[in-house]
Structure 1
Amino acid sequence: MLQILYLAQDLADPAVRRRILALASGGASVTLAGFRRSDNPLAAIEGVVPIALGKTADGRFLQRMGAVAGACLSLKRKLRHLRKPDVIIARNLEMLAVARRAVALFGGEVPIVYECLDIHRLMLRDDMIGRALRAAEGSLGRDARLLITSSPAFLEHYFRPLSHLEAAPMLIENKVLEIGGAQDAAPVTASYPAPGTPWKIGWFGALRCSKSLALLAEFSKKMEGRFEIVLRGRPAHAEFDDFEGFVHHQPFMRFGGAYRNPEDLPAIYCGVHFTWAIDFFEEGQNSAWLLPNRLYEGCRYGRVPIAIRGTETARFLSVRNIGLVLEEASADGLAAVIGEMTTERFADASARIGQCPATTWVFDRADCEALVQRLAALTREPHTFAPVPAMTAPRHTEGGMP
């Protein structure tokens, strides 16, 4: 059985939980170690007791650097009871430093996999800070055998032209983890609201975009109750003046708290009609390049995604001729696209999503096993590098629901 040491930047991150579940379902034995940023009991994994390396805070880069240095110093003590792993996965840049220290402690020759699913704005700066961070990424990742990322736009806009990393890339999209059996992947068509009840837009997951919150609040008031905004997930409180207070005073917006992913996805998505798949958190950079979890989750349950023109999400929808694309980021722009929604138009949009293969949205047990097999192959491959390739696939113009 493949032994994996997974180093996480945030033990409370639901995405970390999903990855551990996927690796275990694929047949690996996983030891989880990482930093705590907050408490999130819903991120707990049955049978997995994580090794805490310290505590970090959102948005405090210098504090995180200090925590990483401290973790490297204490790592020998923290990992003293572990057998040598076959592979180490480092999620995010700071964990690459911890991974290199772990390899040294285990006697070397342990393949490192770098998992990077977001490109922080500091990495993109065209100044001394940005150049230093990219150099650090290249140096810390010089022995990485594999790069796991979630969007082709990350390769196109960052890893190929800017990053010094030379690890071979592997694209794993943010699909819905379903390991219960083939029947789980049956398509779902969304139902429309009963007469006199509102359409509902769901914004679920990592809630970190104050611009989205303000836009959706303004839109819902503009529609005078014909649309309701449903929020679920983990608010990044550092990005909002008063998230709970703001939502409390909105007449057509409600926050339902955190949820388990993937277990609670059917219940929360079947309670809405549209998925807000827009993020302005790092507008024009990471937010334009990512393919968010909620895109796959909503489509998995037949909910119509809403994207904005000029993003990788909009391109993704255009290729499949599904979803809605805003021309401008405003309440008026959203009203122009869905303000006069009809049941016939919505039913057609949801049905077209259901015509896509389930594999478009679902990461199943076979995918988990293939991932573990790819990681196992690293232990047998010679230590050579494959530069991140150029993106040669044709780009498509954005489209949407007619």
Structure 2
Amino acid sequence: MLHVLYLVHDLCDPAVGRRVSMLQAGGARVTLAGFRRRETVPGFDGIVPIDLGVTENRAFGQRLLAVAKAALTLGTKLKSIDRPDIVIGRNLEMLALANRARAMFGADIPIVYECLDIHRLLLGPGGVARSMRGAERFFGRNAALLLTSSPAFVRDYFEAYGQSHAPVLLLQNKMLQLSGADAAFHPTPSPPEGEPWRIGWFGALRCTKSLKLLAEFTRAMDGRFEVVLRGRPAHVEFDDFDGFVGSEPHMRFEGAYRNPQDLPAIYGEVHFSWAIDFFEEGMNSNWLLPNRLYEGCRFGAVPLAMKGTETARFLAERRIGLLLDEPRADRLTALLAVISPQEFEAMREAIAAQDNHTWVCGLAECRGLVERLGHIAGGGYRDVLVEVAA
């Protein structure tokens, strides 16, 4: 059985749990170690994670110190585990620790660099960005595989900046479905006369520009549209998230939700899914393919994306969803206010006509991932772009 040492930047990130489940379902044994952003770490199936300490959002200096400290104590933290067959470092700081682990266990252990976001500190012509990219190239020199979630990350960053020459494995942020049985869901119908259309913005809530745009739009529409927010607000990114949302007559925050258990219900009560992000506008926000894109489409919500982004390209290729041409409330009004119930149902039917594997990653993909990692651990891999979750 392939033994994977998985080093992660945040044990509390729900996506970490999904990746662990994917590796386990594919037949791997996983040792999990990482930092945490909260005091309580969620449970993992049969795994007690190795705690490397606490890090904080946006506190880059603090994170650097935490990584440096972890590098000094990693030998003690990992002394009781078996020698892994492969090490996966999720994000740049964990790639650095993956190199440290490799030196401890043996230089022949391959490293996989899992990069699902391109941090703004890595971009631009400034000295900090150049230094960060230099560090990434240095720590990534031993990577046998680059695992990422969007073709734009490869095209517009890793190739454009010359950051990696490792083979690429594209794993989109699809829903993980291991049971083989489709989850039942009942999408909400078009609203009757006098009732509002609902836009759902779910997941990591971190974009002030989106919040203000949606507030201006719903006020202008005077009750014809409302916005439902759910998930984990990044409070450090907002002046006063709770106060702002609480003061808006057509917005409501419904708190956290369980993923994937609650997805059919929460997407089933909205008509549209907000798949727009301006958090790192022109950079990471343009390149990513977010979880909410796959989740919303899987459960019948029509996605809203920004033109010129990778999400827009994804939707345009499949002729589904709606594309906003400018980030202005009047342009959003022009896009949505004229939609009839018949047009909406046609858009929903176009999404339903897509192959379910467009949105869902199943057991075969999990096995394919572990098989690919096994080939690398055995020393055989090809220098090609492979899409496991196609």
- TM-score interval, smaller chain: over 0.9
Judged with a 3 Å threshold, the aligned counterparts in structure 2 of structure 1 residues 275 and 69 are, in CA distance, closer, same or farther, namely same
1:29 partner amino acid: R
- Pairing of 1:122-141 with structure 2 (within 5 A): 122-141=121-140
SS of the residue corresponding to residue 367 of structure 1 reads helix
* Residue of structure 2 equivalent to 1:17: 17
2:37 partner amino acid: R
Judged with a 3 Å threshold, the aligned counterparts in structure 2 of structure 1 residues 318 and 63 are, in CA distance, closer, same or farther, namely same
Instruction: Report the CA distance between 1:192 and its aligned residue.
Output: 2.0
TM-score by length of 2: 0.95
1:111-141 CA distance string (max 9 Å, x none): 1110001111111121221111111111101
* Residue of structure 2 equivalent to 1:94: 93
* Residue of structure 1 equivalent to 2:236: 238
Instruction: Report the CA distance between 1:34 and its aligned residue.
Output: 0.5
1:4-59 CA distance string (max 9 Å, x none): 11111111111111111111111111111111112566x43232221110111111
Matched, 1:34 2:49: no
CA contact (8 A) 1:188 1:300 kept: no
What is the rounded CA distance, in whole Å, between the counterparts of 1:50 and 1:352 in structure 2? 42
* Residue of structure 2 equivalent to 1:148: 147
What is the rounded CA distance, in whole Å, between the counterparts of 2:183 and 2:118 in structure 1? 31
Mean Cα displacement is larger for which, 204-213 or 43-52? 43-52
Mean Cα displacement is larger for which, 94-103 or 333-342? 333-342
Judged with a 3 Å threshold, the aligned counterparts in structure 2 of structure 1 residues 86 and 190 are, in CA distance, closer, same or farther, namely farther
What is the rounded CA distance, in whole Å, between the counterparts of 1:119 and 1:146 in structure 2? 17
* Residue of structure 2 equivalent to 1:5: 5
What is the rounded CA distance, in whole Å, between the counterparts of 1:11 and 1:102 in structure 2? 18
CA contact (8 A) 1:190 1:350 kept: no
CA contact (8 A) 2:188 2:269 kept: no
Instruction: Report the CA distance between 1:142 and its aligned residue.
Output: 0.8
What is the rounded CA distance, in whole Å, between the counterparts of 2:113 and 2:73 in structure 1? 22
SS of the residue corresponding to residue 38 of structure 1 reads coil
SS of the residue corresponding to residue 184 of structure 1 reads coil
Gaps of 5+ in 1: 390-402
TM-score by length of 1: 0.92
Aligned residues: 386
Query: Among 313, 316, 339, which residue is 1:315 paired with?
Result: 313
CA contact (8 A) 2:263 2:295 kept: yes
* Residue of structure 1 equivalent to 2:59: 60
* Residue of structure 2 equivalent to 1:119: 118
- Pairing of 1:2-401 with structure 2 (within 5 A): 2-39=2-39, 43-181=42-180, 183-184=181-182, 191-382=189-380, 386=383
1:270-304 CA distance string (max 9 Å, x none): 11110000000010111011111101110111110
1:264 partner amino acid: D
What is the rounded CA distance, in whole Å, between the counterparts of 1:325 and 1:199 in structure 2? 17
CA contact (8 A) 2:25 2:366 kept: yes
CA contact (8 A) 1:145 1:385 kept: no
1:72-119 CA distance string (max 9 Å, x none): 111111111100111111000000111111111113321111000111
CA contact (8 A) 1:85 1:110 kept: yes
Gaps of 5+ in 2: none
* Residue of structure 2 equivalent to 1:394: none
CA contact (8 A) 1:189 1:350 kept: no
Judged with a 3 Å threshold, the aligned counterparts in structure 2 of structure 1 residues 122 and 198 are, in CA distance, closer, same or farther, namely same
